[in-house]
Amino acid sequence: MKSLLLLASSLLISLSAIAGTESNEVKKEKESQPEAPVEIVQSLQLTGSVVDEKNHEALAGAAIVVDGKKYYSDLDGNFAINGVKPGKYSVVIELISYEPATMEVSLSGSRELKIGLQQK
């Protein structure tokens, strides 16, 4: 009985030693691999206002589409789009009973737009 207990305990000790060695090897492999560099992306803000081109009145509820996402102007015709990355964008502005407007915008810093729409 003692020999069986001795055999079982020595087997457990050797298995735990092997498992500890393998986990150390995995840790060493992970430590030796270089980590990917962290890219710092500048976040910009695109703001502006949408007005009637003829009488310069603010246009509330105009849809501003940037990079496939839709934003809307507030009651004063103003809009603010946060978290825009630097680059070139096609900005589309739409409102019922007005001709849609498209403009190309190149962002390298925060920018403010004044957009005039013509009635149909």
- The CA distance from 61 to 58, in Å, is 10
Structure tokens at 71: 């934003």
- The CA distance from 4 to 75, in Å, is 85
In tens, the pLDDT along 47-59 reads 999 999 999 999 9
Q: How many CB atoms lie within 10 A of CB 89?
A: 18
Residue showing tokens 């001795």? 6
In tens, the pLDDT along 1-46 reads 666 555 566 666 765 656 555 555 555 555 666 666 766 667 889 9
pTM beyond 0.85: the answer is no
With contact defined as beta carbons under 8 Å apart, do 1 and 9 qualify?
no
CATH fold of 44-117 reads: Immunoglobulin-like (2.60.40)
- The CA distance from 77 to 51, in Å, is 7
Residue showing tokens 């096609």? 90
The two beta strands, 111-117 and 69-72, are: unpaired
pLDDT band at 111 (very low <50, low <70, confident <90, very high): confident
In tens, the pLDDT along 58-104 reads 999 999 999 899 999 999 999 999 988 899 999 999 999 999 999 99
Instruction: Give the total residue count for the chain.
Output: 120
Helix (H) or strand (E) holding 21: helix 2-32
